[in-house]
């Protein structure tokens, strides 16, 4: 393509493409994390936009300033919705890790998360890193790259519409945060809760035992053992979540 022959209309189309792609890139999991340099995100957005531009045949009508701004905002919203939808699964993993860590006695044992620049539970960070490895292992990042190209087949620029059905679908996907957290954390949390009940019965039976000294390291050991034993279940649950995410993205795109 000869850059000197690009018309104003083609440049406008490219800007619309770049806006949607950039919004996706900065919000999707892993690539959109803060630890990824801005230059890499910008370069990746430009590269994807250049690759898509020759294959997207769009003829934009004449737009006034307000219509142009509204269309740009719509393109950004499309990218943000798709990107943030992918982050919800990881949010469920972190919630499960925080609940597990709390039951193990790690309520104040936090580490610095360079991705969010906040203090997070050490167990939440551990499970989050495992989820990232699973995400890459099942090619979850390919789903988002496919969604970027597929979105232009389903939603042309200026065609974005926010409907009640779309809002309901976003709420349904947000609900998966708690479902994922319960599926991952329920076996370990239940076992640790039963352990605490057992410690309470022991204290009532043998009050001479200092349950704080005995129980604290024992709950940590039981928690770590249970995390290791339930790791295959964790991998299975997250693999199914990431593999089925493409269908949810397809529904979101059609509702937009």
Q: Where in the chain are the domains? A: 3-255
Q: What is the pTM of this model?
A: 0.78
What beta strand segments (E) does 122-253 contain?
none
Region 33-57: what's the mean pLDDT? 80
Return mean pLDDT, the chain.
Answer: 78
pLDDT at 3 over 60: no
Percent of the chain with pLDDT over 70: 88
| Confidence band of 190 (pLDDT split at 50, 70, 90) | confident
Q: Model confidence at 109, in pLDDT bands (50, 70, 90)? A: low
Most confident of the following: 7-16, 30-39, 157-166, 226-235: 226-235
Token representation of residue 214: 């005995």
The residue among 108 and 42 whose pLDDT is bigger is: 42
Cβ neighbours of residue 223 closer than 8 Å, sequence gap 6 or more = 100, 103, 104, 123, 188, 192
Distance CA(49)–CA(62), nearest Å, equals 22
Helix, strand, coil percentages for the chain (3-state, nearest 5): 75, 5, 20
Cα(142)–Cα(246) distance, integer angstroms: 10
Region 1-6: mean pLDDT is 54
- Sorting pLDDT into bands at 50, 70 and 90, what band is 117? low
């Amino acid at each position: 393509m000869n850059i000197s022959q690009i018309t104003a209309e083609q440049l406008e189309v490219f800007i619309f493409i770049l806006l949607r792609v950039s919004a996706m890139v900065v919000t999707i999991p892993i690539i959109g994390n803060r630890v990824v340099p801005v230059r890499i995100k910008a370069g990746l957005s430009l590269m994807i936009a250049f690759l898509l531009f020759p294959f997207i045949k769009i003829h934009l009508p004449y737009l006034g300033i307000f219509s142009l701004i509204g269309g740009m905002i719509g393109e950004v919203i499309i990218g943000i919705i798709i990107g943030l939808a992918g982050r919800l699964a990881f949010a469920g993993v972190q919630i499960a890790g925080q609940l597990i860590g709390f039951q193990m006695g790690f309520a104040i044992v936090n580490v610095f998360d360079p991705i969010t620049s906040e203090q997070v539970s050490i167990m939440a960070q551990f499970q989050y890193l495992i989820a990232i490895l699973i995400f890459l292992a099942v090619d979850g990042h390919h789903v988002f790259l496919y969604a970027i190209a597929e979105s232009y087949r389903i939603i042309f620029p200026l065609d974005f519409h926010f409907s009640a059905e779309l809002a309901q679908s976003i709420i349904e996907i947000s609900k998966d945060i708690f479902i994922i957290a319960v599926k991952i954390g329920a076996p370990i949390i239940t076992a640790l809760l039963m352990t605490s009940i057992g410690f309470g019965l022991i204290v009532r039976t043998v009050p001479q035992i200092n349950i704080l000294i005995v129980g604290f390291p024992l709950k940590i050991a039981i928690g770590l053992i249970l995390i290791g034993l339930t790791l295959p279940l964790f991998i299975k649950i997250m693999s199914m979540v990431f593999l089925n995410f493409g269908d949810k993205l397809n529904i979101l795109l059609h509702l937009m």
